[in-house]
Chains A and B, each alone.
Chain A
Amino acid sequence: MKAMTYRGPYKLRVEEKPDPKIEHPNDAIVRVELAAICGSDLHLYHGMMPDTRVGHTFGHEFIGRVEQVGSSVQNLSVGDRVMVPFNIFCGSCFFCSRGLFSNCHNVNANATAVGGIYGYSHTAGGYDGGQAELVRVPFADVGPAVIPDGVNPEDALLLTDAFSTGYFGAQLADIVEGDTAVVFGAGPIGLAAARSCWLMGAGRVIVVDYLDYRLRKAEEFAHAETINFGQVNDIVLELKKQTGGLGADVVVEAVGAEADGHIMQHVTAAKLKLQGGSPVALNWAIDSVRKGGTISVMGAYGPLFSAVKFGDAMNKGVTMRMNQAPVKRQWPRLLEHIAAGHIKPSEMITHRIPLEHIAEGYHIFSSKLDDIIKPVITVA
C-alpha cells in the first residue's frame, strides 16, 4: 500500500509499505478514503515528540471503509463506512469503563501517561496512522462508528478529532450563560472551540491569534471577536481592558507546543526541544483568566516539563482542566448539531491534497502558506 512515512524532522515521503494485517481478534483493517493533517501532526513533523521513528506513518484523523475484520468483531462488517476516533481504546479497563477513553490503560505499552493514538509516535503506542491507503484499527467494536446516512464525509472526518476536540475544550471550560470566553489559537481546534462556546451559552467569544487570515475565519466561522496579538503591545493587558479589568471568565488554550510570542520560549522549546512545549499560550491563559476562572487546555504538549507560571495560577484560584478529547462521547450530540444546522465542521477545510503530494501539504501547513487552515488528504 501507499503510505506517508516520516524520514526525520521536516522530511517525509510517500512509499510502498506492507499492508497492515489483523494482529488481534478485535482488529479491523480500514481502507482510508479521507484523512487530515492535524496541527499536532506538525509537532511530530518538527521533531518535537519523543520516540518518533523513521518509517512511521502519521495521521489520526481519517474515515474509510472496513476491508477486513478479526474473528471477535461483532459490531462492524466488511464494507461499512466508518469514522474512527483518534484515540485507540479497549472499552473495559479502569479508565474506559468510566468514559475516559483517551486514557485507556490497555493500548499503549510505551507510556502510562497517554493512551493510544493512531500515527502519533511510539510515545502514543507505536500505531501507524491513517495517512495511508490502509490502516489497522484495534478494538473495532469499541472505537469506530458507522457514518450515518446523509452525513457529509468531510463533516464526519472532522468529528474524528478537530471539531470534537474543540467542542470538548469548550465543555471543559465549564461555561455558564453570559460568560466571556477567550480562545487562544485560531487553528481548527480553536475555531471549533470558539464555535462551541456559543452552543454552551457564552455571552462573548474572543479569539486571539497572530495570523490575520485565521482571525478572519474566526469572525466568519465562529462569529467571534478577534485580537491579533502581534498588533498589540501586551495581549494580557489588552484582554484585561476588554473585560472590565477582571479578565475572562474562561479561557480555552488551543495552541500547544509551538506557541509563538516569546523568543526565549521559542528557542528553548520549539527549536532546542528542552521543554515539552513553549508555554507562552498557557501562561497568557493564566494571566488573562479572571480570578476563580477556568482554563481548558486543548493544546498538545510533549512529556518533558515546561516552565509554566504555576504560582499565578495558584494565587488566582484558577481551575485548570485538560485531557485528550474522548471524542466518541461527543459524537451523538455533535451529529445532532450537524443535523440541526447548528454547525458544519467541514467549513474549516481550506485545502484538499492527494496523498501523493502530502509532503507539500505538510510544508504548506507548517509554513502557513496560502491562507491554509485545515488540509484534507484525499486517499481513495
Chain B
Amino acid sequence: MPYTADKPGSTPDPEALRARIPGWGADLDPADRPAFPREQPGIETGAHWELPPQQAGASGRERSIEHERVTPVFGTAQPLHGISGRIRRFAYDRFSEGQTAHWLLLVAGDRVDAVTAHVTSLFSKRPDDPITESGVAGEIAHHPIASRVGRGRIDLKHAWLDPILVIGPWVVASVLAIKLVRAVFLPASKRGK
C-alpha cells in the first residue's frame, strides 16, 4: 500500500466521543494539565522552612555514598542487624548506586535476612507458619480452579518451571557450600570418599 501524509483510518468525531465518554476532552489543552510544565519554579508546597531540621539518630545510619550526609529526614523502620546487616552495610559503604554490586549485595542481604529470620523464628513463641503466612488459605472460596483453568492464562505455561527456578539456586548454592567446606576442612586424601 502507498504511504501518504494522512493518518490512516477515519478521524474520530469529537461530539460523538463527548457524548459517549464522560468528561471527554476536559483536559484537552496540554498547557492546562496539572503536571505541566514538568518543572514549575516557585510552586507552593506548604513548606515553611528553607532546609528541614535534622532528624535525630542519623549517626551510624546507612546511607548511599552518593549523598553527602544522612538526609534531614529518614526512615527508621528496620535498622541493620546481624549477618544481613553486615552485608547491607558493606553494600552501602563500598558501592555507589551505579554499581551492580551494590544492588546484588542488597538482594543477597535480603535472602540471608529471610533465612535467618525463619530459623530464628523456630526458637521463638511464634514460629513462621507456611500456611497462614503464604496466604494459601485464600485459595478456599476464591475460585482457585475457575480463576486459572480454561481462561487462556499465559502465566500457567511456565508455572511448572517457577518452583525449580526459585528452589534451584538454593540447591546449587548449598552444593557449592558443602564442596567448599569439604575442600577447606577435609584432607585431600579423604575428599573423594
Contact check, A109 vs B41: say whether CB atoms are below 8 A apart. Answer: no
Expressed in whole angstroms, the Cα–Cα distance for A40 and B113 within the complex equals 21
Residues of B within 8 A of A369 (CB): 138-139, 142-144, 147-148
Can you name 17 extra interface pairs (CB under 8 A) apart from A98-B41, A329-B34?
Answer: A54-B114, A106-B72, A107-B72, A109-B61, A109-B62, A127-B75, A174-B30, A198-B17, A200-B30, A201-B25, A204-B12, A228-B152, A246-B7, A263-B161, A360-B135, A363-B138, A364-B135
Contact check, A105 vs B71: say whether CB atoms are below 8 A apart. Answer: yes
Interface residues of B (CB under 8 A from A): 1, 3, 7-9, 11-12, 14, 17, 20-28, 30, 33-36, 38-43, 45-53, 55-58, 61-64, 66-67, 70-78, 84, 88, 92, 97, 100, 103-104, 106-107, 109-111, 113-115, 117-118, 121, 126, 128-130, 132-139, 142-144, 147-148, 151-155, 157-158, 161-162, 165-166, 169
Expressed in whole angstroms, the Cα–Cα distance for A285 and B177 within the complex equals 43
Residues of A within 8 A of B58 (CB): 109
Residues of B within 8 A of A26 (CB): 49, 52
Residues of A within 8 A of B30 (CB): 174-176, 200
Smallest beta-carbon distance B14→chain A, Å: 7
Contact check, B134 vs A92: say whether CB atoms are below 8 A apart. Answer: no
Smallest beta-carbon distance B156→chain A, Å: 10
Residues of B within 8 A of A105 (CB): 71
Interface residues of A (CB under 8 A from B): 7-13, 15, 23-26, 47, 50-57, 72, 74-75, 88-92, 96-101, 105-113, 116, 122-123, 125-128, 138-139, 141-142, 168, 171-172, 174-178, 196, 198-201, 203-204, 210-212, 223, 228-231, 243-246, 260-261, 263, 266-267, 271-273, 302-305, 326, 329-330, 332-333, 337, 340-343, 357, 359-364, 367-371
Expressed in whole angstroms, the Cα–Cα distance for A74 and B48 within the complex equals 9
Query: Could you show 19 A-B contacts with beta carbons less than 8 Å apart?
Result: A12-B135, A55-B78, A72-B48, A90-B73, A98-B41, A99-B35, A108-B71, A111-B66, A178-B12, A210-B155, A228-B152, A244-B7, A267-B165, A272-B165, A360-B138, A363-B136, A367-B148, A368-B155, A369-B138
Smallest beta-carbon distance A101→chain B, Å: 8
What is the predominant secondary structure among interface residues of chain B facing chain A?
A: loop
Expressed in whole angstroms, the Cα–Cα distance for A175 and B19 within the complex equals 20
| Chain A to chain B: the 7 pairs with minimum beta-carbon distance, closest first | A244-B8, A342-B23, A8-B114, A91-B47, A363-B135, A126-B75, A360-B138
Contact check, B49 vs A92: say whether CB atoms are below 8 A apart. Answer: yes
With contacts defined as CB atoms under 8 Å apart, how many contacts are there between chain A and chain B in the complex? 312
Residues of A within 8 A of B153 (CB): 210-211, 230, 368
Contact check, A271 vs B165: say whether CB atoms are below 8 A apart. Answer: yes
Contact check, B144 vs A141: say whether CB atoms are below 8 A apart. Answer: no
Smallest beta-carbon distance A74→chain B, Å: 7
Expressed in whole angstroms, the Cα–Cα distance for A246 and B100 within the complex equals 38
Least CB separation from B8: chain A residue: A244
Residues of A within 8 A of B92 (CB): 110
Expressed in whole angstroms, the Cα–Cα distance for A125 and B50 within the complex equals 21
Residues of B within 8 A of A174 (CB): 30
Smallest beta-carbon distance A246→chain B, Å: 7
Expressed in whole angstroms, the Cα–Cα distance for A26 and B53 within the complex equals 9
Contact check, A303 vs B151: say whether CB atoms are below 8 A apart. Answer: no
Contact A126-B165, Cβ < 8 Å, known A47-B110, A230-B154: no
Residues of B within 8 A of A122 (CB): 62, 75, 77-78, 88
Residues of A within 8 A of B84 (CB): 53
Expressed in whole angstroms, the Cα–Cα distance for A98 and B36 within the complex equals 11
Contact A127-B77, Cβ < 8 Å, known A54-B113, A212-B151: yes
Contact check, B100 vs A304: say whether CB atoms are below 8 A apart. Answer: yes
Contact check, A333 vs B27: say whether CB atoms are below 8 A apart. Answer: yes
Contact check, A368 vs B147: say whether CB atoms are below 8 A apart. Answer: yes
Expressed in whole angstroms, the Cα–Cα distance for A342 and B64 within the complex equals 43
Contact A7-B117, Cβ < 8 Å, known A245-B1, A303-B97: yes
Contact check, A91 vs B46: say whether CB atoms are below 8 A apart. Answer: yes
Residues of B within 8 A of A54 (CB): 78, 113-114, 117
Contact check, B11 vs A203: say whether CB atoms are below 8 A apart. Answer: yes
Contact check, A342 vs B46: say whether CB atoms are below 8 A apart. Answer: no
Residues of A within 8 A of B130 (CB): 11
Contact check, A363 vs B134: say whether CB atoms are below 8 A apart. Answer: yes
Expressed in whole angstroms, the Cα–Cα distance for A332 and B35 within the complex equals 11
Least CB separation from B25: chain A residue: A201
Contact A111-B23, Cβ < 8 Å, known A200-B33, A266-B158, A271-B162: no
Expressed in whole angstroms, the Cα–Cα distance for A21 and B21 within the complex equals 46
Contact check, A223 vs B71: say whether CB atoms are below 8 A apart. Answer: no
Smallest beta-carbon distance A247→chain B, Å: 11
Smallest beta-carbon distance A215→chain B, Å: 11
Least CB separation from A117: chain B residue: B75
Residues of A within 8 A of B134 (CB): 10-11, 359, 363
Contact check, B52 vs A96: say whether CB atoms are below 8 A apart. Answer: no
Least CB separation from B49: chain A residue: A92
Smallest beta-carbon distance B70→chain A, Å: 5
